[in-house]
Amino acid sequence: MATIRLGDTAPDFTAETSQGTLNFYDYLGDGWGILFSHPADFTPVCTTELGTAAKFKDEFDKRNVKMIALSVDGAASHNEWIKDINETQNTQVNFPIIADEDRKVSDLYDMIHPNADDTLTVRSVFIIAPDKTVKLILTYPASTGRNFYELLRVIDSLQLTAYHKVATPANWEHGEKVVVSPSIPTDEAKEMFAGGVEEIKPYLRLTPDPTA
């Protein structure tokens, strides 16, 4: 059983999906990706999650993030379930759902936790950078639906901090002040950040969001 940690290279795979056979790396291309698993088709919480994900597609597109979901059921089942999702959630599922009947992808990404359930996947989330490294891992129990606003917030933070020498504080939202990287001396930071540097403590310095 694989164990994936932050910074690891996301395993590549080719799988059947609701949109035909796809290679994961080819699907992601040179953008960001979000892979999220669901315990099973025709389950209530998953139905709301996939409907919500579909409604968020424009927001993920703005961030150059491609979504792909997974369930241990087959492609024919997925396509029937998608009809229910579209009907009940008033949307159109607009991303592929992996048909992982043989558990190959689930095992690659350690999505089956036997002490929770020995056959169904937990609600895993993996955010993957353009270089195919894993930048975030979240694991929810089957009974708790995910917060897609939080996933967008995390992607905003990951993309900001990938290209600027900053970190984001608790409850940060796009446009709010960010933390200057501790590795940058204050004098250098004041030259680097045009918006100025607010020194609260020598190790806690804030600057306006450089992308806002």
Partners of 139 in beta bridges:
124
Task: Count CB-CB contacts under 10 A for residue 176.
Answer: 13
Cα→Cα distances 37→24, 73, 151, 175, 211, Å: 14, 11, 14, 30, 32
Work out the end-to-end distance of the chain between its first and last CA atoms, rounded to an integer number of angstroms.
42
**Residue of 22, 34, 35, 46 marked active site:** 46
Q: Are strands 32-37 and 65-71 parallel, antiparallel or unpaired?
A: parallel
Beta strands in the chain, from DSSP E residues, in sequence order = 14-17, 20-23, 32-37, 65-71, 97-99, 123-128, 134-140, 166-167, 178-180, 198-201, 204-207
**Would residue 46 show up in a list of annotated catalytic residues for this protein?**
yes
Q: Which residues are catalytic?
A: 46
